[in-house]
Amino acid sequence: MHRNASELTCRLFLRLNLIYMNMPAIEPDIEQNLSTFARRLQGVGRIIEDPDNNVWGCSPIYDEAGNVHVFYSKWVNESAHEGWLTCSQIGHAVASHPEGPYEIQETALVGRGGDYWDSMTIHNPTIHKIGDLYYLFYMGNSDGTVNTKRAGVAVSDSLYGPWERFDQPLVNAGSHESDDWDSLVTSNPAFLQTPDGECRLYYKGWNRNDWERDLSVGTRPGTADTGLLTNRAYGLASAPSPLGPYVKYKGNPIINMRTQLPGAQTEDAYIWQEDGLYKMILRDMGFYNHEYGLYLESKDGLTWDKKPQIGYLNSQVYLPEPPNGLDREGRFERPQLLMKDGKPEYLFCAIVGGRYNTSSGAVLKIKG
């Protein structure tokens, strides 16, 4: 029977996808590749387990009194894990100690509705204090799909709000016509202010044409299915103020794992400065595996280590739990740091499972 070209193309992509999914990444020699950062980690436990909501992406900060405030993504259990893309909101919880227990406060941000760029889902917060103001960076979308994911910010003089929102995201997607690397999304922001006052927004992006080709052969948006051609990489945009205007770095993307290993990607960056270096932790998406974190260093925040070290291991190493059978089991996502006196004190992550077999936050101590 004759097969048309589109059917043959579809079958070829499916076969290649199976090959990539079953290809081992770099076989991890743990002792050789484990970063000093990872060697200091000690598991504490889960936090913010909510019977009604999935909890994800916990970003911590100290207040002036020494209490810890966590801003986190949440969405109703009825929407399953994929609800992060359609109905996520930003919650707020407070504890007197980083390890908890945490008391849930108000909902800080929700989709605004109407024609706003962040009208639908609000996700992946990262909280920072600059001067006397708090800046809550996040990803929003306007149609419940990845196509409109953009990075933006809300600002307040109090961790309890109210939060001022803005009509435009901080960084828009690149040009589809010129096939830019970030022509589909700008997402998962990481923020840093340099000693000279420059504001840097590191953001995840990927290409529209690659994504559409992956969709045509069955990639499932909002799931752990990452696609074959799609390459999640990180770019940089800089501004004189946390509110912008941001200008994209001409050398983007600055983090591109696919230049090191076919099929490798990354996401969920957190950036900080310590000991005269820029440091970054991210989630691995195929360099070592999909369960580890990555650790990179840079002298200028632009040119990073070519080969990443292991930033953290799979979740069972730190939080031994019975199998839960969920997609994404065994891995930490959305690593965020609690900083104290310019040093990382605790690592906060998201993890599936827990008391309600949905998802929650998790805390790891960074030993001195």
Q: What is the CATH number of the domain that holds 180?
A: 2.115.10.20
Averaged confidence pLDDT in the chain: 92
Residue 216: name the closest of 20, 12, 4, 3 by CA: 12
- pLDDT mean over 84-91: 98
> Does residue 78 surpass a pLDDT of 60?
yes
pLDDT band of 28, cuts 50, 70, 90: low
Per residue in 90-136, pLDDT tens? Answer: 999 999 999 999 999 999 999 999 999 999 999 999 999 999 999 99
Q: What Cα–Cα distance (Å) separates residue 250 from each residue in 198, 203, 266? A: 16, 14, 20
Burial environment of residue 261 by CB neighbours within 10 A (0 to 12, 13 to 18, 19 or more): middle
Q: What is the pLDDT of residue 179?
A: 95
What's the gap between Cα 147 and its chain centre?
17
Number of domains in the chain: 1
> Does residue 182 surpass a pLDDT of 60?
yes
Token digits for 250? 């001409």
Burial environment of residue 251 by CB neighbours within 10 A (0 to 12, 13 to 18, 19 or more): exposed
- Residues of the domain holding 340: 5-366
> Does residue 7 surpass a pLDDT of 60?
no
Residue 246 contacts by C-beta under 8 Å, 6 or more apart in sequence?
170, 171, 199, 201, 237, 238, 239
Q: What is the pLDDT of residue 18?
A: 34
Q: What is the pLDDT of residue 27?
A: 57
**Contact by Cβ (8 Å): 121, 148:** no
**Contact by Cβ (8 Å): 126, 336:** yes
> Does residue 226 surpass a pLDDT of 90?
no
Token digits for 3? 């097969």
